[in-house]
């Protein structure tokens, strides 16, 4: 990461009250781990988000996880200025209050059929997110090969149940259609009257949020929490959650220093 702040970051540090900092959870705030249930926020995450939350207009954690899980695994309760948009924006957590629509009716059918589809593949894990179902192949002997073998059967199941398939790094997720991270972020920016925006993510599902930054008409910056598994075009590339923490801390430093152009 360069020490020179691009225009989007200068806008954030010059007018922090109008800034929205958006961030994914897994792979961005929290390191990727073999078992999704073991994911926890980076050791510096709570302190860094607390600093940012007190300085900017809002910090929006936009994730495919249920909001309750993100709040628990991220130790987010009590951090000022944090809003969690879970299930790609279908759920919302703010000030200890959760709002969400009823679960999609196709989930019960998918929940019943998925074990049959994944049974032939050792190491495949089905994560039940209540409002979505994620099939993880990271622990399989051949994660990429198993992911490819499951792609068509899961796509067929999605058609039969009226769900959408969200691909990611060694994961295929069945979730309700009609919402993605880009739509969730865009709606939040409009709601808050944002004057600048940053979004940091690491996976295919975050590309829609990057596009929402670019089409928002606001000074903005996209941050890719890089890994060896995926390449994504972004304004800034950092080295995983460690790099995200360093960048966020440098933004807080610059705001506290009065909007300097350098970290």
Using 50, 70 and 90 to split pLDDT, how confident is the model at 261? very low
- What secondary structure does DSSP assign to 5-32, as a single string? PPHHHHHHHHSGGGEEEEE-SBTTTB--
Most confident stretch, 177-181, 208-212, 229-233: 208-212
Compute CA distances 56 → 3, 7, 16, 17, 34, whole Å: 20, 17, 5, 5, 33
Using 50, 70 and 90 to split pLDDT, how confident is the model at 4? low
Compute CA distances 54 → 19, 78, 125, 166, 218, whole Å: 12, 12, 38, 33, 21
pLDDT digits (tens, 9 = 90+) for 107-132: 999 999 999 999 999 999 999 998 89
The pLDDT > 70 percentage for the chain reads: 96
Using 50, 70 and 90 to split pLDDT, how confident is the model at 182? very high
Sign of the torsion formed by the C-alpha atoms of 239, 240, 246 and 247 = positive
> Can you read off the two tokens belonging to residue 250?
């440098």
pLDDT at site 263: 37
pTM of the entire predicted model? 0.82
Mean per-residue pLDDT over the chain, rounded: 93
Within 164-226, residue ranges assigned H as helices are 181-192, 207-215
Torsion of CA 124, 61, 214, 232, to 10 degrees: -30
Residues 6+ apart with CB under 8 A from 160: 106, 109
pLDDT digits (tens, 9 = 90+) for 28-40: 999 999 888 999 9
Sign of the torsion formed by the C-alpha atoms of 103, 164, 166 and 53 = negative
3-state secondary structure 147-175: HHHHHHHHHHHHHHHCCEEEEECCEEEEE
d(CA 113, CA 84): 30
d(CA 47, CA 129): 27
Closest to 69 in 3D by CA, of 36, 45, 42: 36
Using 50, 70 and 90 to split pLDDT, how confident is the model at 5? confident
d(CA 70, CA 177): 21
pLDDT digits (tens, 9 = 90+) for 84-97: 999 999 999 999 99
């Amino acid at each position: 990461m360069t020490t020179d702040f691009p225009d989007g970051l200068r806008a954030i540090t010059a007018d922090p009250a109008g800034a929205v900092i958006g961030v994914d959870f897994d792979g961005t705030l929290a390191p990727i781990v073999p078992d999704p249930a073991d994911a926890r926020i980076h050791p510096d995450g709570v302190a860094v988000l607390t600093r940012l939350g007190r300085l900017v207009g809002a910090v929006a954690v936009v994730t495919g996880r249920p909001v309750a899980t993100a709040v628990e695994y991220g130790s987010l309760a009590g951090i000022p200025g944090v809003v969690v948009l879970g299930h790609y924006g279908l759920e919302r957590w703010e000030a200890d209050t959760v709002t969400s629509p009823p679960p999609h009716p196709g989930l019960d059918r998918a929940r019943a059929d998925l074990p049959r589809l994944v049974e032939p593949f050792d190491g495949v894990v089905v994560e039940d997110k209540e409002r979505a179902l994620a099939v993880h192949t990271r622990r399989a002997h051949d994660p990429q090969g198993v992911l490819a073998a499951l792609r068509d059967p899961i796509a067929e199941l999605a058609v039969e149940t009226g769900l959408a398939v969200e691909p990611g790094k060694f994961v295929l997720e069945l979730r309700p259609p009609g919402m993605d991270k880009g739509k969730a972020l865009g709606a939040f920016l409009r709601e808050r009257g944002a004057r600048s925006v940053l979004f940091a993510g690491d996976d295919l599902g975050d590309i829609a949020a990057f596009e929402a930054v670019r089409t928002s008409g606001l000074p903005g910056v996209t941050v890719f929490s890089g890994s060896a598994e995926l390449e994504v075009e972004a304004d800034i590339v950092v080295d995983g959650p460690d790099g995200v923490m360093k960048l966020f801390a440098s933004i807080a430093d610059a705001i506290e220093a009065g909007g300097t152009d350098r970290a």
